[in-house]
Structure 1
Amino acid sequence: MVTTPENTFGAERRIATAAPSKRDTRLDVLRGLALITIFINHVPGQIFEYLTTKNYGFSDAAEAFVLISGIAVGIAYGSRFKIGAWFETAKQSTKRAFTLYLAHMITTFMTLALFLAGAWLFHRPGLLCQINILAVLTNPQAGIPSLMLLGHQIGYNNILPMYGALMLMVPIILLLEAKSPLLALGVSGSVWLLSGIFEIAPRNTLIEGYWFLNPLSWQFLFTIGIVGMMHVRRGGKLPRHPLLMALAAGYVGLSFVWVVGQLWGIGNTLASLGLPTVITGFDKTFLSLPRLLHVLALGYLVLNIDALSSLLRRPESNPLVIFGRHSLNIFVAGTILAMVGQVLLYISNGDKVIGPIFVVLGLVIQFVYAYHLENKRKLARAASGKVRAPQTGGLQAVSVRADRSRGMNRK
């Protein structure tokens, strides 16, 4: 399994600040909840899928995860970013992007193996027609290189390529932010808007269309997270005004009514006004404005409603904190388990009992794995402390003895 410092999804390493403080576990809790939601949604056709956030608002766990990741990158890289050390930041973020690429290759080829094995063992060739696999199998000479060069992405295996691309953008985002936060937001927002209007995105090579998640669009949400975190690190605060609270709550409520009430016809009416789809639509590839505003409204409410914010601040021993802390490993494990679940549901013809049982079992396995990773982390830190402690103690003892000797000589 892929391992990274702090075993995080992206660059979210724990960075010491000027004033020592405990880890803000709210990010881990939210990240853990997003991972659980993503896993459930990646096993479609079972009852738990209908309980996830995508059924009650415009955005879903993917938007939440990218916003959280932007905030975490602001913590990890922003605290030490200097314009003069730009190359070092670029090197670190590129290394992180490569780690994400390797993780993506693991999930991609494991998915291929699982669907091929399922089709062969259970005599269900229809499995090979699922989630964009057939395009690879009918032309493996072009298909395998396309997978490795990210020109073709198997269904439900398309988050990591987008996130890796965002990590490559981190040095540019931080450079713009260092010059002016408004400049960073302005450039990022312009790229988002132009990408949506003119449908500028990385194209697929085996089939028609674009990457399912366009990094040129999603970088805006990512940048908002980074800029917001940097603002707070400099001593700033998010504006907390009753009008803004009311607008955010009203938009979340409107989104709930819209989705639950299936009022999509209103969207068609808005589209008839001639405005770009990125403004009036609900497209996930180009992160349309209604989706973007929804996740920002939710984030604003979470941060500004004290009771909710306090509820999310859990002890570091809390299961959700541990789950979210090891997010990259858990995401890889969850994706592979979700693919097992898809094969199982296909060969069982979508059995209504097998699906929910598998989801519960899959989550249990992931939590057990998270605790295993946490124990390894603690043991590694303890071992590191044991190695360093005698050396530090020895130096301190020498220093103390030298001080005493000097004191005696002075007497």
Structure 2
Amino acid sequence: MLSRPDTHHVGKASVATAGNRKRDTRLDVLRGLALITIFINHVPGQIFEAVTTKNFGFSDAAEAFVLISGIAVGLAYGARFEVASWLVTAKKAAKRAFTLYLAHMITTFMTLALFLTGAWIFHRPGLLCEINILAVLTNLQAGIPSLLLLGHQIGYNNILPMYGALMLIVPIVLLLNARSPLLALAVSASVWLAAGIFEIAPHNTLIEGYWFLNPLSWQFLFTIGIVGMTHVRNGGKLPTHPLLMLLSACYVALSFVWVVGQYWALGNALASLGLPPVLTGFDKTFLSLPRLLHVLALAYLVINIPALSQLLRRSENNPLVVFGRHSLNIFVAGTILAMVGQVILYINNRDQIVGPIFVVLGIALQFAYAYHLERKRKLGRADRPQLAHRGMQPVPVRASHMQDMKRK
């Protein structure tokens, strides 16, 4: 979901020359950190959850994940997108969206199986009342089709549907961006604002409410990543100014104090201004403005503070780089492990020793899986020259390790 091999500098930095094939590992590191954070947050009730980013600012790993994914699309399609090839791009994006749908189905039905098994083996029927499972079990005739048609989402299994929907709009964003980056951002911002003001979102079919992460709202953050990265790839620079740095730093500091100090009551003061909640609230479904500005401010600081940028630049064999490179497979594995963790913590009454131990073991297993996938990737690359030397057509390596969007 992120960078590509002929990587480029994401900030003021210039685009790498055509001959420079070195990968910009900063994106892989950030993606790896986001995946680890999401995993920890998806095993609620253990001590590590208290030290994740959601406890220190308005946004969390989900916002970072979507912004980085937008950057990935800019890297994969942005510079070589042509209006004449729009249909080809649309087919690639649709194929990627279908892959994400299949991944979502895997995590959804694995979650159901894990919770049903846990309830049966450990005689804990209360498990079936967790994370929106009961609505499916009490009406299987409507529940299974609702899951298949994305009309119902199991708790903690709601990122991939949103991301798949975002992939379907990629051709539109790129087409608008080809005409004018400002046009693309203006249209995207208008959709975000309208969705927030009028609460326009995909509805659930089994229970009241909307998708937990509304793609009509989150597409704005995604589009910002695409447009920004495409601009840089085409030789442009992101705006840099001491005042913007100061404003970003102040906003991040304000967010930190607000969240750590638990000053959520101040939100009532903002609401009293009479503005729509999407502009003054902290809602995640419709990606309220305070959350959006927070992740953008963080990204701006990371891009423009050399020490931070350099800290993220690791070697291609760094564990975090390897972890982030195989994002989709790791995300699927992490989600399934997190659901195992939720079952274990439930039957152990959220034991404060069992929980942290499981999280550490779960992260270790994901790193081991990432290195397994990396080994397969390298073996596949090594086999191709040998086949070519023998005059044989190399068999395409299947995306069993769910390579980055760039390779689709």
* TM tier relative to shorter chain: over 0.9
Work out whether 1:300 is the aligned partner of 2:300. Answer: yes
Amino acid of the structure 1 residue aligned with 2:224: I
CA displacement at 1:13 relative to structure 2? 5.1
- Aligned equivalents of 1:263, 1:389: Cα separation in 2: 66
2:170 corresponding residue in structure 1: 170
Deviations, residues 277-319 of structure 1 (Å, cap 9, x unaligned): 0000000000000000000000000010001101101000000
AA aligned opposite 1:142: A
Structure 1 partner of 2:128 = 128
In the alignment, which residue of structure 2 is the partner of 1:199?
199
Cα distance in structure 1, aligned partners of 2:80 and 2:206: 41
Q: Is the 8 A contact 2:281 2:288 kept in 1?
A: yes
Taking structure 1 as reference, are residues 285 and 202 closer, same or farther at Cα in structure 2, changes over 3 Å only? same
Q: After superposition, where does 1:6-405 map in structure 2 within 5 Å?
A: 10=1, 14=5, 18-391=18-391
Paired residue secondary structure (2:169):
helix
- Distance in 2 of aligned mates of 1:125 and 1:265: 37
Q: Distance in 2 between matches of 1:14 and 1:387?
A: 22
The change in CA–CA distance for 1:262 and 1:11 in structure 2 (over 3 A counts) is closer
AA matched with 1:297: A
Measured in 2, the distance between the counterparts of 1:224 and 1:389 equals 44
Is 1:11–1:96's contact at 8 Å kept on the other side of the alignment? no
Tell me, in whole angstroms, the C-alpha distance in 1 between the residues paired with 2:68 and 2:279: 23
Question: Secondary structure, in 3 states, of the residue corresponding to 1:262?
Answer: coil
Which residue identity lines up with residue 293 of structure 1 in the other structure?
Answer: L
What TM-score do the two structures reach when normalised by structure 2?
0.92
TM-score by length of 1: 0.92
Q: How far apart are 1:21 and its partner, in Å?
A: 2.9
Counterpart position of 2:11: none
CA distance in 2, matches of 1:91, 1:13: 20
Change (3 A) 1:177 1:228: same
- Cα offset, 1:238, TM superposition: 1.4
Letter matched to residue 25 of structure 2: T
Does the Cα contact within 8 Å between 1:46 and 1:356 map onto a contact in 2?
yes
Contact 2:5 2:24 in 1 (8 A): no
Q: 1:18 Cα deviation (Å)?
A: 3.2
Counterpart position of 1:408: none
> Quick check: 173-182 or 263-272, which moved more?
263-272
Query: Match of 2:402?
Result: none
**1:147, 1:261 → 2: CA distance?**
39
Q: Is contact 2:201-2:216 (8 Å) kept? A: yes
Name structure 1 gaps, 5 residues minimum: 1-9, 393-411
CA distance in 1, matches of 2:207, 2:270: 30
Amino acid at match of 2:140: P
- May I ask how many residue pairs the two structures share in their alignment? 383
- How far has the Cα of 1:239 moved from its partner? 1.6
Cα RMSD (Å) of the superposition? 1.2
Structure 2: gaps spanning 5 or more residues: 8-16, 393-408
Whole-Å separation in 1 of the counterparts to 2:230 and 2:158:
28
Q: What secondary structure is seen at the aligned counterpart in 1 of 2:20?
A: coil
CA displacement at 1:80 relative to structure 2: 2.0
